[in-house]
Amino acid sequence: MHADTERGHVDERTARKVAEEARETEWRLPSFGKQLFLGDFRLDLVHPHPRPSDEARRKGEEFLARLTEFCASKIDPAEIERESRIPDEVIIGLRDLGALGMKVPERHGGLGLGQLYYGRALMVVGSVSPALAALLSAHQSIGVPQPVKLFGTPEQQDEWLPRCAREVSAFLLTEPDVGSDPARLRATAVPDGDDYVLNGVKLWTTNGVVADLVVVMARVPESDGRRGGISAFVVDMATPGITVENRNAFMGLRGIENGVTRFHDVRVPKANLIGREGAGLKIALTTLNTGRLSLPAGCAAAGKWATMIAREWSRERVQWGRPVGEHEAVSRKIAFIAATTYAMEAMHDLSAQLADAGRGDIRIEAALAKLWSSEMAYRVADELVQIRGGRGYETAESLAARGERGVPVEQFVRDLRINRIFEGSTEIMHLLIAREAVDAHLAAAGGVIDPDASAGQKARAAAKAGGFYARWLPTLVTGAGQRPSSYAEFGPLARHLRYVERASRKLARSIFYAAGRWQGRLEYKQGFLGRMVDIGAELFAMSAVCVRAHADARADARADSGADSGAEGLGMDGAAPGASAVKLADVFCRQARVRVEELFEGLWRNTDALDVKVAKAVLAGEFTWVEQGVLDPSIPGPWIAPSEPGPSERDNVHRVIG
């Protein structure tokens, strides 16, 4: 192990190297998202919209019906919020339904659902209790079953998967000093005979307090003949030496069983290593490729509920002589909520069905869906608070106590906030997607913009890159988006697809200019990279919405003509009526285009460089005068002043004002 790493000090270069080594570098299947960033709008990769097989649909719908019945009759969302706890009988009931093994293959005792119906199930559960959806998702999207299914040996699968269908698991990566940057990981797994000996502390372990099995990331030390590195282990929580030291409490998701888990000389059999030593991060990231789709599912569910509450309240509440929904300022919010919800669902369903069909590499689409949906759902929640006015800020319990319907909008905002932080924060998602998106540029021009390359290497790389760009740049000049007849089968939505095609080429040209302008420094231009990724996300959302509305409209037309809509539809009950779907898709695309134009403008006109300078000055203490005149509530009281000020109160005054 590198000495610095051992002490927990890791420089930026090492951090990047570790992240880079964990990347999946191969692209075996085509990727719609990747091509989008290269100016190559491959509509054929997502259209016609993939559909579940008849068997998958039958199995999925049958399970959803049972799950919906259970959630509606056996779960009291207010009780979970009030007690900050999910009752045992709820987890037992879900287990008996098979909800702990949704994605576990049937031969191992699970339900064997695909990604689409797994996501649909999370939507149902999440609409009742986001904390419960977090439990199911932490267990199945990132917990033990998925990495074992993807990377486990047949023996490991036989041993662990049947347990995963009945027991709760957790995923333990984060440590007090290790958040977004896994290079600093401190937990160790030292080989000793037939075992590894685990030591370390894991923080914010969702399900960690109640889990029977966990997957732990720990570092195997390098030694003679041993590569070592961050590795993934399945650990039975009954093993001696494991203690759960705290049950953490949060702003939202109050029912989750999230803990601090300490490993002290815990002996884990070598047979519990998943994959090979050093492959732990790659396993975690690959698991997340589709695992990330559970968050967009939750966001789509949130949007659906928000649309309903916005509709009901905006009609019912009359102010200034009209229902509030008829005042333009509120109308705009309602249209935003409804259109964004349709897009969140379209993005999730498209990505999930592409994954199920095995038709493409969806790692960029899933990442874009996670990034975009978590940001947009939070905006949706904020607008819903505004529409509900004071009632949006009041707790459901308080509303009910004074005789009104207990609509938990305030809880809704708190529960949604975490989506922008976990499973890859927005900032990290920007970097991760940007890295994948510019992969082709780097493959061609990597040596030119690599700060470590020698002059000779740069010259050779420049010659190679020149050939690539000579072929590629002309393809960015014109395309289908400039021909008025393109995408005609999409009717009124065709113009939006033409826009996506044009914008995709403009985006690729912008990346090319930026690479030329900043070269090796491009990777530090996080403002540029973030906007570039956000443009890609909006373009993906527009594409998903158009393809979805087209499929919904066709299913509707076939139903009208008496044909079996089931065979044509997307396999979801309550598919949108055709004309209405096209109308909402059109509104969504118009809203998205406004955002895209602003983002393009911001690529070159912004205050990024100035902000960086100011932030440096803030960090250096130049503006501490701005902070004066307030107290710091994070410093212990006493807050009710005794006649003589106590020492801590004096400290507080001194610290803040002095």
Instruction: Please identify every residue annotated as catalytic.
Output: 423
Minimum distance between the CB of residue 539 and ligand FAD, rounded to whole angstroms? 23
Q: Can residue 206 be called a binding residue for ligand FAD (CB under 6 A)?
A: yes
The residue (of 140 and 206) whose beta carbon lies closer to ligand FAD is: 206
Say how far apart CA 497 and CA 475 lie, in whole Å. 18
Is position 172 an interface residue for ligand FAD (rule: CB under 6 A)?
Answer: yes
Name the DSSP class of 114: -
174 contributes a contact to ligand FAD by CB under 6 A: yes
CB of 205 to ligand FAD, least distance (A): 5
Total residues in contact with ligand FAD, by rule CB under 6 A? 22
d(CA 404, CA 58) in angstroms, rounded, equals 40
Task: Pull the structure tokens for residue 60.
Answer: 């999925």
CB of 16 to ligand FAD, least distance (A): 9
Q: In 3-state terms, the chain is what percent helix, strand and coil (to 5)? A: 65, 10, 25
* Window contacting ligand FAD (CB under 6 A); options: 112-120, 333-341, 425-433, 609-617: 425-433
Contacts of 576 (CB under 8 A, 6+ apart): 342, 549, 552, 556, 584
Asked whether position 171 contacts ligand FAD by CB under 6 A, the answer is: yes
The conformation of residue 195, written as its DSSP 8-state character, comes to E
Q: Does 612 sit near ligand FAD (CB under 6 A)?
A: no
Nearer to ligand FAD, 137 or 156 (CB): 137
Contact 334, 342 (CB under 8 A): no
Distance of CA 446 to the CA centre of its chain: 28
Residue of 180, 90, 176 lying closest to 135 (CA atoms) = 90
Which residues are CB-contacts of 619 (< 8 A; sequence separation ≥ 6)?
A: none
Q: Indicate whether 173 belongs to the interface with ligand FAD (CB under 6 A).
A: yes
Q: Where are the alpha helices (DSSP H) in 358-478?
A: 363-388, 390-393, 396-401, 409-417, 426-437, 439-449, 455-472
Question: Closest separation between CB of residue 105 and ligand FAD, Å?
Answer: 24
* Dihedral, 342, 347, 353, 359 alpha carbons, nearest 10: 140
> Of 551, 504, 377, which Cα lies nearest the Cα of 33?
504
Query: Of residues 335, 400, 421, 587, which one binds ligand FAD by CB under 6 A?
Result: 421
Cα–Cα distance measured from residue 218 to residue 283, given in angstroms and rounded to the nearest whole number: 13
Binder to ligand FAD among 84, 267, 400, 422 (CB under 6 A)? 422
Shortest spacing between CB 77 and ligand FAD, in angstroms: 18
Q: What DSSP assignment string belongs to 464-530?
A: HHHHHHHHHGGGGT--GGGSTTTTGGGGGGHHHHHHHHHHHHHHHHHHHHHHHHHGGGGGG-HHHHH
Residue from 14, 43, 250, 267 binding ligand FAD (CB under 6 A): 250
User: Of 369 and 431, which has the nearer Cβ to ligand FAD?
Assistant: 431
Determine if 138 is a binding residue for ligand FAD (CB under 6 A). yes
- If one asks whether residue 129 binds ligand FAD (CB under 6 A), the answer comes out as no
Which residue in the set 93, 112, 162, 179 belongs to the binding site for ligand FAD (CB under 6 A)? 179
- Please say which residue, 173 or 589, places its beta carbon nearer to ligand FAD: 173
Residue 341 in contact with ligand FAD, rule: CB under 6 A: no
Q: Does 584 bind ligand FAD (CB under 6 A)?
A: no
Of 250 and 600, nearer to ligand FAD (C-beta) is: 250
- Give the CB-side neighbour count of residue 649, counting CA atoms within 13 A: 9
Q: Is 100 left (phi over 0), alpha (psi -120 to 50) or beta?
A: alpha
Out of 260, 418, 539, 596, which residue is the one contacting ligand FAD (CB under 6 A)? 418
244 binds ligand FAD (CB under 6 A): no
State in angstroms the smallest separation of the CB of 243 from ligand FAD. Answer: 17
When CB distances to ligand FAD are compared, the closest residue is 179
Q: With binding defined as CB under 6 A, does residue 232 bind ligand FAD? A: no
- CA geometry: angle at 137 spanning 132 and 143, to 5°? 125
Q: Footprint of ligand FAD on this chain (CB under 6 A)?
A: 138, 170-174, 179-180, 204-206, 250, 253, 258, 418, 421-422, 425, 427-428, 431, 526
